Amino acid sequence: MKLEATFDLVLFSPKARSRQTAELAAESWSEEARQRLRVHTPLAGGFDAGQALDALSEVGPDGRVLLVGHEPDLSRVVAEITGGMIDLKKGGLAAVRLEGGTSGELVILMRPRELALIAGVPGGGN
């Protein structure tokens, strides 16, 4: 099973695994839509909420951006933006709805095991 999600922009770390994950997320997109995938060097390490908000400013207020990076950076960014404590886990997914461009609400938090169950992969992750 695939989740039918599209994004206005997909930013990923220059590290190989992040590129693979971003490409996997966009594998069913048209070639034109795949042009929205871009390397974003700050995601390689030390990424923070300010850098995330700067990256999100490239799209309009209702834009959808997928950030593919690394732990613990992404958990920290989600926590800073939502004001909560987040443990994303490697291979996990968090969806955040921004409010006013500086704070947001955690909408979804899925760990690798839940994602594997949705995808129909036996055993799942952590």
pTM of the model: 0.83
Q: Report the C-alpha gap between 36 and 10 in whole angstroms.
A: 6
**Which residue in this structure is represented by tokens 């926590």?**
79
Residue 35: count of CB within 10 angstroms of its CB:
10
pLDDT digits (tens, 9 = 90+) for 49-67: 999 999 888 888 788 898 9
Q: 85 φ, ψ to 5°?
A: -95, 125
The pLDDT confidence band at residue 1, using thresholds 50, 70 and 90, is very low
Which domain CATH number covers 74?
Answer: 3.40.50.1240
What domain count does the chain have? Answer: 1
Whether residue 78 lies inside any domain: the answer is yes
Whether residue 60 lies inside any domain: the answer is yes
Whether residue 81 lies inside any domain: the answer is yes
Q: Where are the beta strands (DSSP E) in 1-126?
A: 9-12, 37-39, 65-68, 93-99, 103-110
- pLDDT value of position 124: 56
Whether residue 52 lies inside any domain: the answer is yes
Whether residue 3 lies inside any domain: the answer is no
Whether residue 89 lies inside any domain: the answer is yes
Whether residue 124 lies inside any domain: the answer is no
Q: Is the pLDDT of residue 118 over 90?
A: no
Task: Give the β-pairing of 93-99 and 65-68.
Answer: unpaired
Tokens representing 48 are 């923070």
pLDDT digits (tens, 9 = 90+) for 7-17: 889 999 999 99
Tokens representing 47 are 């990424």
Whether residue 125 lies inside any domain: the answer is no
For residue 15, what are the domain limits?
9-119
